[in-house]
A = this chain, B = another copy of it.
Amino acid sequence: MDQPQRVVIIGGGFAGLTCVRALRGLPLTIQLVDRRNFHLFQPLLYQVASGSLSPGDISAPLRSVLRHQKNVQVLMGEVTGFDAARRRVVLADGELDYDILIVAAGAESHYFGNHDWEQFAPGLKTIEEATEIRRRIFEAFEHAEREPDEAMRRAWLRFVVVGAGPTGVELAGAISEIARDTLRDDFRTIRPEEAEILLLEGEPRVLPPFPPDLSDLAERALIGLGVRSRTGVRVTHIDASGVVMNTPEGEQRIDAHTVLWAAGVRANPLGRLLAEAFGAETDRGGRVMVNPDLTVPDQRNVFVIGDLAHVRDAAGKPLPGVAPVAMQQGRYVARNLKARLEGVAAGDFHYVDKGSLATIGRNAAVADFGRIHVDGFVAWLAWLFIHLLYVVGFRNRLLVALQWGFQYLTFNRGARLITGVVQPVRPDARPELSTARGGPGPATPSD
């Protein structure tokens, strides 16, 4: 091998970035391609959506993370296809040759064919979606403050989260804390703590991936936060003013101006392109079916890892789309390539499940460590510790810790900016309407 092998890695998420870092020092020529210039710490994205952290706090520029790893070039680019015969990755504006291809393009929100729901119920996969959700949550209270009609005001103060997996539970809990604590004294016409937060789930219990006893504990914690969950219901329609769902008692409509989507993800469309190019299969969610060594069948030099890969554990259960799986797969592929360079055989990938955590709110979380189930303050501390530990980069870790500390003590949220397209707060209002004298109550000099 005279020339170092060319490795192209697509995606700088947990799988791709972990893989690149584990390839440190190897005689390879690595190109890491990502649409974005930063790694995003997705498990904390809901904290951007709820105004606790700034986008910069949970992002690390890929170039900065990899600046001293000389065998890597970071490229910002959009992959549009694969040329299997010529071993090339096709970009929107160029091509990349590879000897080894590692695809870790991740997942996106999935609306099960109802594309028009996206505009009414944004999902939570990107920084832009997070700031959009933040805008909708905080703007809803602004609308309510200025809405004279009682029913309309209630619809502005009603928040529906579709999907009670970890993300949905986190979002619902965070909205409750915003309403009850953060905004408590901020308004003069409305009482933010009267906001209704509804969590809708198709399965018979919240946090379906967790054991039933932890679902129960989570449900209880949610009730304590004032979140009402409806399980066993199926959303059949979403528009600008609410949601229709199928319940055991029949069809039911909920009037709500803020609907958030946490009901499902599917693989990045690159999965299907890759499958077509290399003759692989995909599952219903668009994930690529891979060999036990994470290569595509009959393609020794093409790996798929992270949320884009369909991999099963020893019991035949598909691995979940979570960061630990992605990181272990990234490290495994690096070990595999190292073994190849050394001319030895690499074993198959085996996921070591160290447990699952879901946070519900202040001092409340559930943790599933196999036989040990933990909830409440202890689980919440574990969640805090693990997430701080993994936030990329020392600087971010300290910033995040500091902001959490402030928020814990003051209940305030520092990053609750309404940004993006600025629209009239009440576009539906009649222009002749006057809020004259409808302002603050009689002022007292004693404020």
Contacts and interface: CB of A to CB of B under 8 A. Distances in A.
Contacts of A351: none
Interface string A86-101: 0010011111110000
Contacts of A422: 35-36, 78
A37 B142 contact: yes
Interface residues of A, number: 92
| Oligomer: number of copies | 2
Interface stretch (A303-311, A360-368, A410-418): A410-418
Given A29-B440, A127-B419, A399-B414, A435 B96 contact: yes
B93 A425 contact: yes
A439 B185 contact: no
Interface stretch (A67-75, A163-171, A195-203, A223-231): A67-75
B56 A415 contact: yes
Contact of A185 (B68, B71, B402): B68
A interface, over-half SS = loop
Given A29-B443, A95-B436, A440-B72, A63 B183 contact: yes
Contact of A436 (B97, B415, B444): B97
A38 B26 CA distance: 49
Contact of A55 (B68, B417, B431): B417
Nearest to A59: B417
Given A75-B439, A93-B424, 14 more contacts: A25-B446, A31-B440, A38-B416, A38-B417, A56-B414, A56-B417, A63-B183, A69-B447, A73-B188, A75-B146, A78-B424, A93-B433, A97-B436, A395-B410
18 contacts: A24-B447, A30-B440, A36-B418, A38-B418, A54-B55, A55-B415, A63-B186, A69-B447, A71-B443, A76-B142, A78-B422, A78-B424, A93-B427, A94-B146, A94-B435, A95-B433, A95-B434, A97-B436
